[in-house]
Amino acid sequence: MQPQYIVRQRAYARIRLLQDAKRLGNISRACRRHGVSRTYYYKWRARYDGTLESLWDRSRRPRGHPRQLSAQEHALVKRVAQRHPRWGLYRLHFILRSAHGFTRSIGGLYKALKRLGFYAPARRPRRRKYKRYERPWPGANIQIDVKYLPKLGGQQDYQYTALDEYSRLRYARIYSENTPRQAREFLGEALDFFQHHHIRVAQVQTDHGTEFTYAMFPHVHKEHPFERHLRQAGIRHKLTPIGQPHLQGKVERSHRIDDDEFYHVYSFADRDQRRLGFQLYLDYYNTCRAHGSLNWRTPTQHLQAWHQSQSVNHA
């Protein structure tokens, strides 16, 4: 089941589709702008009655099943199971089939007994409590990752993101290439950004993507431009183990926030408009958006609090 806020955001996106079609006077053009089909448009136009709730996703769960047990079969199972409470599932199934003409499978009998309350619902395993690992100071580790963006005009764009694990302060840019040269250029811009905010970067963490390292190509002996820049700057490069993206959890979570609060909310006429809008959104993310993991402070507020504490300790 989708979270309520996602259902609401999708409904708002459908309202914008209907409004754009009316404003442009061209359904096909509006559908291309939103990346949907004309069939999708007509479906939601027919369902729209002026309320937001009419554009919510409806459950696709079937109301019935052609092979479900009848009321008489449920009554029979209940009567026999109550009369013989110590019988096991297989014995009960055998007696029902041989003495009462029950034709359902043993799986169907088990589900009927569960519905009737003879089997307690399975207990969900308790979630293991864990303490979220936090870095002790800004710049201790910067997570960098690449997000593939939806195509606009048939062309692919890539969002490069660098996130400080301590403050959640982010630097991000949208590029049309995903190459080692582009990653090297982004790294230089990100280091300048963090230096401007008085963050001394000690370590950069990435995955094994070819834009960051040649570790997956042992036949390549030259130094990767991204790693060369880190070495010249005196910054350690940490590679996450293959197949463990959760170790990049903070930057991956920020990408999900981008989807929920920017990419799935707004529509764009072209790639330049999306780049401009993203820079405005990123400024909002760093300076105005409160984060629960930061005790409901913004990344800049959390970073300023750390700098203030350091100045007090050294006074």
The CA-based dihedral angle spanning residues 135, 136, 137, 139, taken in that order and rounded to the nearest 10 degrees: -30
pLDDT of 65 over the 90 cut: no
| Full-model pTM | 0.60
pLDDT of 98 over the 70 cut: yes
Q: ∠ CA 165-171-174 to the nearest 5 degrees?
A: 130
User: Which residues, other chains included, contact 14 with Cβ-Cβ below 8 Å and sequence gap of 6+?
Assistant: 44, 48, 55
Please give the DSSP secondary-structure letter assigned to residue 260: I
16-21 average pLDDT score: 91
Q: Which of 83-87, 166-170, 221-225, 311-315 has the lowest mean pLDDT?
A: 311-315
For residue 274, the model assigns a pLDDT of: 95
**Could you tell me which residue, 313 or 114, shows the higher pLDDT?**
114
Please give the DSSP secondary-structure letter assigned to residue 261: I
For residue 255, the model assigns a pLDDT of: 95
Q: Which of 90-99, 239-248, 268-277, 278-287 has the lowest mean pLDDT?
A: 239-248
The residue extents of the domains of the chain are 4-55, 71-115, 142-313
For residue 130, the model assigns a pLDDT of: 57
**Could you tell me which residue, 69 or 195, shows the higher pLDDT?**
195
| φ, ψ (nearest 5 deg) of residue 171 | -120, 130
For residue 59, the model assigns a pLDDT of: 83
Q: What is the pLDDT of residues 36-56, one digit of tens each?
A: 999 999 999 999 999 989 999
Closest listed residue to residue 223, CA positions, set 210, 233, 214: 214
Q: Which of 64-68, 164-168, 200-204 has the lowest mean pLDDT?
A: 64-68
Highest mean pLDDT among 80-84, 149-153, 173-177, 292-296: 173-177
Q: Does domain 142-313 have CATH number 3.30.70.260?
A: no
pLDDT of 295 over the 90 cut: no
Proportion of the chain above pLDDT 70, given as a percent: 96
